[in-house]
Amino acid sequence: MILRVLFVFLCGAWLSVAASALPVPESDPALRIQGSNTIGADLGPALVEGFLLDQGLLKIHRENPDTANEQRIVGQTSDGKRVMVEVAAHGSSTGFTALKNTSADLAASSRPIKDSELASLQFLGDLKSPAAEQVIAIDGLAIILHPDNPLQQLNTEQLARIFSGEVKTWEELGGRGGAIHLYARDDQSGTYDTFKELVLSGRGKSLSSTAKRFESSEQLSDAVSSDPQAIGFIGLPYVRQAKAVAIADGQSQAMLPLNSLIATEDYPLSRRLFFYLPPASENPWAKALVEFAQSPKGQAIVAANGFIAQTVHAIAVTPNVLMPEGYQSLSRHAQRLTVNFRFEEGSASLDNKARQDLARVLDYIKRNDKTERAVTLVGFGDAKDDPARADLLSKLRAMAVRRELVKSGVVLREVRGFGAQMPVAANSADEGRIKNRRVEVWVN
């Protein structure tokens, strides 16, 4: 599922928009986005509409060309000049292909860029650099059933066996209904790539050939909700009339795809949604759209479209007996911010999203007068052979965040490390270990 925004510099001729400094091409289109259907179906067009409105354009509307899963968002300058953005939503991989053949200026992706794609696009610059790889929203893959299916939860091991075809009936899972009918996104989909990465590949499984495949998220969800024997996976905004079940991974508790658990990326099947902006791009509209998507206005549009915005706020956490005593005590006296800092694989360096989140957390701390001994950082890590080493590494990661906050004048209340306790994902795969290496932010 990828948006297709194409900025075409036709004849090198650009005119000026009266309400902004951005230039307008003399001929359509002004901008092309290609890629993810998860983004491109509704979120991408909505962001473009908000962006064009913010630029002072008038008469903003959508046009549907003859090709399925493509849209045009059109606006008009104050002096009557037409500005058009094309959005094509045929799957995340198509966005990177479009960047390569220069038919898009911006790729929308519901999964991180692959190493092979990164290598093939080196001529555009480093697409893993902080300016190029932009997390615009958080999503959760919901596992959906027919509303009458009595099952309430599954684990990722069960999901792998179900979708590979090893588990064939609902009775094998303690349910009822006979044969299991599988529904999945198509091979171009970032949703499928994410499911394959998080559920299938690490367990040596592949998707059963009996699965019905869909390019459209909405069509998949509607098919599941009309089939009592169905199971499928889908992005959070597309659950629609189906039933989402709680998911556990490894030793984690089973979690429903709730907004708070997806915002912190604790939910086992949470994922990031991206815009990829080539560093070599000379297109001012592509850069401006990315900036708008990260702004409070852009993130409000993210939330309004059913995804999880990266806006930081505090939430109460109810203590339970599965938490370490120190963590229970913290949850009784403080609130947790809806962000987790995560790290580059094999290091204590903050990843690209964490760098963006630092600014948001600092803004929250300053706006709420929490700069003086009101913030506690809590570090976690993946399991090690030596528990003491896990404890040390968890605290070192928290100290890495502390250093960044101190630079901006924040005096912390405490820094704590809980080692490998309270995993949110299985440690048997790289993706799970990365999720478990996290730093939470708590405020009094």
How far, in Å, CA of 8 to CA of 433, rounded?
A: 42
Name the pLDDT band for 10 (thresholds 50, 70, 90).
Answer: very low
How far, in Å, CA of 93 to CA of 56, rounded?
A: 33
How many C-beta neighbours within 10 Å does residue 204 have? 8
Return the pLDDT at 3: 35
How far, in Å, CA of 413 to CA of 347, rounded?
A: 25
Q: How much is the average pLDDT of 411-426?
A: 83
pLDDT digits (tens, 9 = 90+) for 57-112: 999 999 988 898 999 999 999 999 999 999 999 999 999 999 999 999 999 999 99
Rama region for 35: left / alpha / beta (φ>0; ψ in -120 to 50; rest) = left
pLDDT greater at residue 264 or residue 163: 163
pLDDT digits (tens, 9 = 90+) for 143-154: 999 999 999 999
Q: How much is the average pLDDT of 193-202?
A: 90
Q: Are strands 414-417 and 375-380 parallel, antiparallel or unpaired?
A: parallel
pLDDT greater at residue 316 or residue 429: 316
Return the pLDDT at 377: 95
Return the pLDDT at 17: 44
How far, in Å, CA of 202 to CA of 145, rounded?
A: 24
Return the pLDDT at 311: 92
121 contacts 73 by C-beta, under 8 angstroms: no
In the beta sheet, which residues pair with residue 71? 87
Which of 9-13, 171-175, 234-238, 394-398 shows the lowest per-residue confidence on average (mean pLDDT)? 9-13
Name the pLDDT band for 164 (thresholds 50, 70, 90).
Answer: very high
Token duo for residue 336: 């947790």
pLDDT digits (tens, 9 = 90+) for 269-321: 999 999 999 999 999 999 999 999 999 999 999 999 989 999 999 999 999 88
Return the pLDDT at 241: 96
pLDDT digits (tens, 9 = 90+) for 308-346: 999 999 999 999 888 999 999 999 999 999 999 987 765
Name the pLDDT band for 229 (thresholds 50, 70, 90).
Answer: very high
How far, in Å, CA of 277 to CA of 31, rounded?
A: 13
153 contacts 247 by C-beta, under 8 angstroms: yes
Return the pLDDT at 338: 94
* Percent of the chain whose pLDDT exceeds 70: 91
Token duo for residue 68: 């399925």
pLDDT greater at residue 348 or residue 52: 52
Residue 247 has pLDDT above 90, yes or no: yes
Name the pLDDT band for 252 (thresholds 50, 70, 90).
Answer: confident
Ramachandran angles phi, psi of 4, nearest 5°: -125, 100
Residue 49 CB contacts under 8 Å (≥ 6 apart), including other chains: 60, 62, 73
Question: What mean pLDDT is reported for the chain?
Answer: 89
Q: How much is the average pLDDT of 127-135?
A: 95
53 contacts 93 by C-beta, under 8 angstroms: no
What domains can be seen in the chain, in order of their start residue?
2-136+272-304 (3.40.190.10), 139-263 (3.40.190.10), 312-443 (3.30.1330.60)
Return the pLDDT at 355: 86
How far, in Å, CA of 87 to CA of 69, rounded?
A: 8
Residue 387 CB contacts under 8 Å (≥ 6 apart), including other chains: 419, 420
Distance of CA 215 to the CA centre of its chain: 19
Residue 18 has pLDDT above 50, yes or no: no
Return the pLDDT at 423: 74
Q: How much is the average pLDDT of 173-187?
A: 93
Return the pLDDT at 424: 75
Q: How much is the average pLDDT of 34-39?
A: 94
Which of 215-219, 235-239, 397-401, 425-429 shows the lowest per-residue confidence on average (mean pLDDT)? 425-429
Q: How much is the average pLDDT of 411-424?
A: 85
Return the pLDDT at 348: 67
SS3 letters for the chain?
Answer: CEEEECCCCHHHCEEECCCCCCEEECCCCCEEEEECHHHHHHHHHHHHHHHHHHCCCEEEEEECCCCCCEEEEEEECCCCCEEEEEEEECCHHHHHHHHHCCCCCEEEECCCCCHHHHHHCHHHCCCCCCCCEEEEEEEEEEEEECCCCCCCEEEHHHHHHHHCCCCCEHHHHCCCCCECEEEEECCCCHHHHHHHHHHHHHHCCCCCCCCEEECCHHHHHHHHHCCCCEEEEEEHHHCCCCEECEEECCCCCCECCCHHHHHCCCCCCEEEEEEECCCCCCCHHHHHHHHHHHCHHHHHHHHHCCCECCCCCEECCCCCCCCCHHHHHHHHHCEEEEEEEEECCCCCCECHHHHHHHHHHHHHHHHCCCCECCEEEEEECCCCCCHHHHHHHHHHHHHHHHHHHHHCCCECCEEEECCCCCCCCCCCCHHHHHHHCEEEEEEC
Q: Nearest 5 degrees, angle CA 336-CA 338-CA 339? A: 105
Return the pLDDT at 19: 40
425 contacts 268 by C-beta, under 8 angstroms: yes
Return the pLDDT at 163: 98
Distances 93 to 13, 43, 202, 384 between C-alpha atoms, Å:
31, 18, 21, 35
Angle between helices 44-54 and 296-304 (to 10 degrees): 140
